[in-house]
Structure 1
Amino acid sequence: MTTTGPGGVFARIDRSVLGPPDGTRPSLTVHVGPRTVLLSPEESRKALYGARRDATLRAAVWRQAVTEARQEPPDGDGAGRLLVVWLVLPGLYRNLHRILRLWRRVDRADLEAEAILAVLAALDAADPEGPDTGGFLIKEAVNRMWAYAKRVTREIPVVDVGAFAEARNATVAPEEGTRPPEGWEVHITPPPRREGVCATLRFAEPRRRRDGGRTGTGLTDLVLRARRHEEADLIGTLVLRPAGARR
């Protein structure tokens, strides 16, 4: 029988229902005509999905499982509901794998969670005496998995236009910007044409030491970085002034 990954929700339900080999497992006492049959979880599943299924026994298993689950007290341990979910799982694997093959961006764990929520919701509306109680629960879970997958694939991630525009248009006034103390600033004013630089560029460099009492040693490198190559297009006018000086 197909199983899910060791870390999936379906696998956790498997471990919770089956428990350790020597542990106590839930059982179902079903009535088939004059007979009373005690079934383990594995025997209950085999009655539902085995190759030689008995329609009468199958209906009795669903009827008893759903009845016991709905009779659980609100403050109970939920073992009856968990058993119903576990009995539904084999009916979900085919559609689960089909969805994952069609849409690789759909997360398996989310699909499994959606299916379980659908079974628990449908359990309260299921009729234990109905002609196909198990089919109703499986159908509800399958429909919810498909609906979730289609909804996720229709979601297209978009940029937060408002935040993007706000960040792009945010400017810092020259007086608010950081200036290195005792430093130099290089301002490049673009020429009046559309191509090339479209705003004033500012380069700042601190004066770490002085050359002959005039300019800082780092100033030469700063100007070399800011100037254009002789064969390059003019990008603007370069102005050198002490940091913080009036323009």
Structure 2
Amino acid sequence: MTSTDLRSVFALIDGRLLGADGGAWPSLAVSVGRRTALLSPEESRKALYGPRSNEALRAAIWRQAVTEAQREPGGGDGAGRLLVVWLALPGLYRNLYKILRRLRVERADLESEAVLALLTALDVADPDNPDPGGRLIREAVNGMWAYANRIRREVPVVDIAAFAEARNATAPPEEQPWPADGWELHLTPPPRRDGLAATLRFAESRTRREGERLGALAHREGLPDLMFRARRHEEADLIGTLVLRPVGASR
């Protein structure tokens, strides 16, 4: 069984090993009794998971694959280690899908954890154990479950710094619309991440401000009708003026 998701880690391993070169991967020299056979990766996998698998052949394939992987030099291409991972993949899918159905986990992360756990176990595996492949697969499955359970216990929290930065962000002055009769707000000093600290200044038309003051005074004195009749339209002739002064100011 292989994954059809191109973003899947398992699918990437399949593509790397089988590739477009016809799967020209080194064969395994597997010895069972007095017989030695060269098995391609596909033949090895079929022997491991086929309906008529032979226990002695299975053990010999895993023993040879693990031995060759552990003999690889540190600066090699890792072909032997990759082959071991690829041979183990069919043994991981059942638990992979079970975890994905039960828990909210990203598949790519889960597959990466499985590969990491398998490679870690490969470093200390004993090829002469009765079932080295089964041990590797169990370690990979345990790694997937451990990761999934750890993620399930994590509680998402709000990024306070990012939230404060977004809240205090202001658009540059040149990007702000300026309505004809709107308010202008100046903040001094600029907003800080730890909170808003500013002096507010409201700017508006002097004519409008004086008109509002005059209207408020007329309303308080009970003369709104008189003030309405005394308004001067821009196209009308000037017939008089109204001046507001502080109480006690000189005339």
For normalisation by structure 2, the TM-score amounts to 0.68
- Residues 133/160 of structure 1: CA separation in 2 closer, same or farther (3 Å cut): same
Q: Is the 8 A contact 1:119 1:140 kept in 2?
A: yes
Query: Within 5 Å, which residues of 2 pair with 1:51-200?
Result: 51-103=51-103, 105-159=104-158, 170-174=195-199, 177=200, 179=201
Deviation, structure 1 residue 131: 0.6
- The residue aligned with 1:5 is 5
Compute the displacement of 1:9 (Å).
0.7
Letter in 2 for 1:206: E
| Cα contact 2:161–2:193 (8 A) shared by 1 | no
Q: Using the alignment, how far apart are the partners of 1:160 and 1:116 within structure 2?
A: 31
Relative distance call for 1:170 and 1:47 in structure 2 (3 A) is same
Alpha-carbon distance change, 4 to 121 in structure 1, aligned in 2, over 3 angstroms: farther
One-letter amino acid matched to 2:106: D
Whether the 8 Å contact between 1:19 and 1:25 is mirrored in structure 2 is no
CA shift, 1:34, in A, is: 1.0
Q: What letter matches 1:215 in structure 2?
A: R
| 1:172-194 CA distance string (max 9 Å, x none) | 142xx4x3xxxxxxxxxxxxxxx
AA aligned opposite 2:197: V
Cα 1:113–1:205 change in 2 (3 A) is same
Please tell me whether residue 215 in structure 1 is matched to residue 214 in structure 2: no
Cross-structure match for 2:50: 50
2-structure distance, mates of 1:39, 1:114: 29
Question: Does the 8 Å contact 2:17/2:23 carry over to 1?
Answer: no
Larger radius of gyration: 2
Contact 2:118 2:139 in 1 (8 A): yes
Q: Secondary structure in 2 aligned to 1:116? A: helix
3-state SS of 2:124 partner: coil
- Percent sequence identity over aligned pairs: 63
Q: Give the structure-1-normalised TM-score.
A: 0.69
Matched letter for residue 59 of structure 2: A
| Contact 2:25 2:41 (8 Å CA) reproduced | yes
Report the Cα offset of residue 101 of structure 1.
0.2
Distance 1:154 1:4, change over 3 A: farther
Match of 1:189 in 2: none
Please list every run of 5 or more consecutive structure 1 residues that lacks an aligned counterpart in the other structure: 180-203, 224-247
Which whole-Å CA distance do the structure 2 matches of 1:20 and 1:77 have between them? 18
Amino acid in structure 2 at the alignment position of 1:57 = L
Amino acid at match of 2:42: E
**Corresponding position: 1:35 with 2:19:** no
Please, what is the CA RMSD of the aligned residues? Answer: 2.8
User: Which of the two has greater helix per residue?
Assistant: 2
Displacement of 1:159 after TM fit? Answer: 3.8
Question: CA 1:173 to 1:15, structure 2 compared with 1: closer, same or farther past 3 Å?
Answer: closer
Which deviates the most, 23-32 or 160-169? 160-169
SS in 2 for 1:89: helix
The corresponding residue for 1:14 is 14
